[in-house]
Structure 1
Amino acid sequence: MTKKAYITSNSSPSLGERWLFAGLLTIVAAAPLPLGSNRPLPMAILCLCSGFLLICWALLWRFKQTSFHAHSKTIRWALYGYGIVCLWIAVQWAPIMPAALTDPVRQSAADILKTGIDTRLSVNPNATLTGLMHLLVYGGVFWLSFQLTRASERAWIAIQAIAWIGTTYALYGIAVYIAGNDWVTIYPKWTYRESLTSTFVNRNSYATFAGLTLLAAIAVFTRHMVPFFAMKHPLRSKIVLIVEEVVAKAAFKTLGVISIAIALLLSASRGGVGSTIVGLLALAIIYMARKKLNLRQISGLLSAAIIAAVIVYSVGGNHLSKRLPDDLVQSNLEVRTDIYALVWEAIKTSPWKGTGFGTFEDVFPAYRQGDESSLILWDKAHNTYLENALELGLPAVILLNLSIALIAFQCLRGALTRKRDRIIPAAGAAATALIGLHSLVDFSLQIPAISILYACLMGIAVSQSWSQRKT
């Protein structure tokens, strides 16, 4: 028992707990299938399934049928912050506000129609309630993965499952791409016809999903290969053994890393690829921080990484390279800069209480009068921080992001202090770097399948961020 974490252990996992773990992985695996679950019906199904699993976990815990029950003081402030934000969203939705604090549009409509005013902070209560449902699902997935992966063996099963989920969707996307790239699941592809998007509509969304699963695949691959790098053999013999392992015995793990990387490049998402590179660099730096490597070892690792990158890029990087010098980049940047400025002006009209979670599409058009691109639908701000600030208000968005940062910090601390399985919390910190950077230029976290994957990965990483010996 430690002052930082309370974990009770009963015995080996019960049958109910094993089914619960399988159900969690099934949610993560199934979420990308119906267009990233970015549609009402699949998201409602995910909500029901995650709620059912939470109820089952609560019953198992109540009757002491869980092998581990973990709640960490280290992340309690993050959990409190998340809970407060959810409560604030419920307040935005609920018709309990004084008329003077409600949305002025509602007040004007009530005056014109000569009816009573619906006293809510949100300009679209249904959208706000839907947004709250999404956030609760993500929190539920995080909690389940946090509770169910305290055992190292099960944590690695979950990380391997994420890697194979990413590999499966990557291979599917590559197959569709080679076959003509005409379909996205059962629908004729209506956009991004030149880019691999697997089961997602948007190439940036798939690129983020692929980047997260690539981190998991590399974690699995690294765990398998570390003993070979640590062998005290002549360099030539070590290279032969490593190549044999990569090509033969660990072929499926190698296939996972390469297929996800190729699919990522074929997505041609500049933001997605760039954010993934930052995530991979963060993973390497965090994981290697405590290792005392000599110049020869560093040179060998860099050479292997460069060779792998050249091979992958030669296969899947052609389309991306064509987009890098795109003349539209500058104009697109200018348009986004203008949009960001308009969003900031909108934030200043209601900086404390927001317009209601999930209401950006309803609110933003009112601020685009006279904008040259006003005929283009901007249902997302392409900057998650600004969009959430407009919807939630500045205090709530700061609290939400601070909660995520605290969880990421716990992962970073675990990666720097643990002796075994350090790469799992390192992957969590790297995933946050990837997601955090990409959220500056896009809206991937607003795609349910990506948020569910990220929540699951972070739950595993946090659960493995302190030593098993401190149980």
Structure 2
Amino acid sequence: MALLVFSYLLGGASRQNEVRLALLELAALPLLVLALFALSRRSDLAGHRLALALMAGVAILPLAQLVPLPPQIWRGLPGREQLDLALSTVGIPGGWAPLSLTPDRTWRSWLALLPPMAIFAALLVCPASFRLRLPFVIIGGTVLAIVLGAAQLVSGGDGLYPWRTTDPGNVVGFFANRNHLATFCLMSLPMAAILGARVVKRRGSPQKSLLPWISILFVALVVVALGAIRSRAGIALVGPVLGACLVAAWVAAGRGRPGPVLLGMLGAASLGALAIAVFALGPLLVRFDTPGAREGRFENWPIVAEAAQGYLPVGSGIGSFDAVYRSVEPLEQLDATFFNQAHNDYLELALEAGLPAVALFIIFGIWFVRRSWTAWGGRASAERDLQRAATICIAVVLVHSAFDYPLRTTFIACLFALCCGILELASRPESDLSEPGQGRHRSRA
């Protein structure tokens, strides 16, 4: 829990050279070691082989790109001709060199994996009581971020923005980018939906608890906040996400006739959508219709795709996008702005890591489909409901990654890993989920 809160406060940016991110990575290392040690002592370790192999592959890939290669090998790799020519021109002999064109950035990218890997591994060994408190933590964090964002909007200054490189004058909360706050808000919606529905199923009536009504108010707050954030991806995804949340809440409530909570969530979402239409749609459309404005990411994607083909099959090195794109950027597109991310993580990974990254993503897709099938096919329970909510959260990030780079923000990466850890537990029988620490260890500490 401490590392998750730590990442919430310090991991709201995607820049790799921030001291705060380095502190977070350092704090994650002992947790990762302890979690892997505890996991190795579990008798059900074999059930997590695919997920752990996938995590190992993600961790090994950047390290493999840092292994020094003899000159006769790296010179023959695709895309290294310009580097070889530059070294020859200045008279520098080409010695041993890693696969990555920017080894320092590749190394920092590997360090950035430590917090999410630690959280994923810790989720597999933590008690059920901890997991069932996570929705409250996520919802509380979302409310704090929205409150800070509202203060940022009305203050008009830059004193309330926690990062140097940010969206001044916009609602960003604890993040550096409003799109990432929108992603966080969307990921909190399914957590609120299952909480309210679970209480109704357990107590039989929403009047016996305030939690269902708090969930409804929270959904309305998030929908209105998305309008204030003015993230195009957030606005585009809120409808499908709310639809998935209603299905998850219906399942959590026992698949009966829609009750007050489901209808209340639908009403809250409708009122929030009306508020967006009245107050935020105009400023949002300005971002599309500003004369002379161009949507750089769409224009640049073909350039990135062509560059990725030039570096196949091994890629240019994780973290090297900025350097590679500068070398292929057309002269007619040069202006005062810079394009330091592809705004499409799938294209960027294909460029930086080539076919190995594609293979890892295919394995991840297989894992995600298998675990989601198990989670949604099981009976309603607190753990299964949490797993269903996690599938929606993961899907939000996967879709948003096609238009932005949410996983390059440390906190979103940690929250994504948290949801993956929750979903991975769908492989365990229900009886094992209720008391995860009893009777399944080979030996006791």
Q: If the length of structure 1 is used for normalisation, what is the TM-score?
A: 0.79
Distance (whole Å) between structure 2 residues aligned to residue 186 and residue 259 of structure 1: 23
Partner of 1:115: 92
Correspondent of 2:112 among 109, 134, 145: 134
Inter-CA distance 405–430: structure 2 relative to 1 (3 Å threshold): farther
Residue in 2 that maps onto 1:441: 403
Counterpart of 1:469 (choices 428, 431, 435) is 431
Within-5 A mapping of 1:268-307: 268-285=230-247, 288=250, 297-298=257-258, 303-307=263-267
User: Is it true that 1:385 corresponds to 2:346 in the alignment?
Assistant: yes
- Equivalent in 148, 151, 155 of residue 172 of structure 1: 148
Deviation, structure 1 residue 253 = 4.7
1:156 to 108, 132, 135: 132
> Which residue among 55, 62, 75 is the counterpart of 1:89?
62
3-state SS of the aligned residue for 1:393?
A: helix
Correspondence 1:411 to 2:372? yes
Name the SS for the 1:147 alignment partner: coil
- C-alpha contact (below 8 Å) 1:171/1:259 kept by paired residues: no
Asked if structure 1 preserves the Cα contact closer than 8 Å seen for 2:7 and 2:24, the reply is: yes
State the 1:411 CA deviation.
Answer: 3.3
Q: C-alpha deviations, 1:12-43, integer Å up to 9, x for none?
A: xxxxxxxxxxxxx2222232324604342122
- 2:66 and 2:100 in contact (8 A); partners too: yes
Aligned residue for 1:191, secondary structure, equals coil
Offset, 1:428: 1.5
* Local SS of the residue matching 2:65: helix
Amino acid at match of 1:199: F
Q: Following TM superposition, by how much is the alpha carbon of 1:111 offset from its aligned partner in structure 2, in angstroms?
A: 1.2
Read off the aligned partner of 2:311 and give its amino acid letter: S
Maintained 8 Å contact 1:89/1:356: yes
Distance 2:279 2:165 in 1: 18
**1:415, 1:441 → 2: CA distance?**
27
Q: Name 1:26's counterpart in structure 2.
A: 2
| Separation in structure 2 between the aligned mates of residue 323 and residue 70 of structure 1, nearest angstrom | 53
CA distance in 2, matches of 1:305, 1:61: 39
Which is worse superposed, 47-56 or 444-453? 47-56
Question: Which structure 1 segments of 5+ residues have no match?
Answer: 1-24, 232-240
For residues 135 and 397 of structure 1, what CA distance do their matches in structure 2 show? 18
Q: In the alignment, which residue of structure 2 is the partner of 1:396?
A: 357
1:222–1:178 distance in 2 versus 1, CA, 3 Å: farther
Give TM-score, length-normalised by structure 2. 0.83
Change in CA separation of 1:202 and 1:157 when aligned onto 2, cut-off 3 Å: same
1:294-321 Cα deviation digits (max 9, x unpaired): 7xx3496764333211333455664531
Deviates more, 1:457-466 or 1:115-124: 457-466
Structure 1 contact 418–467 (Cα < 8 Å) conserved: no
Task: Give 1:344 shift.
Answer: 0.7
Aligned partner of 1:213 among 188, 198, 202: 188
Give the length in aligned residue pairs: 424
CA distance in 1, matches of 2:121, 2:36: 11
* 1:121–1:356 contact (8 Å) kept in structure 2: yes
Give CA-to-partner distance per residue, 1:113-142, whole Å, 9 cap, x none. 323324221110001111122224322221
Give the corresponding residue for 1:11: none
Change (3 A) 1:369 1:176: closer
Distance 2:396 2:381 in 1: 24
What percentage of residue pairs aligned between the two structures are identical? 21
- Pairwise CA RMSD: 3.2
What CA distance in whole angstroms lies between the structure 1 residues aligned with 2:407 and 2:337?
22
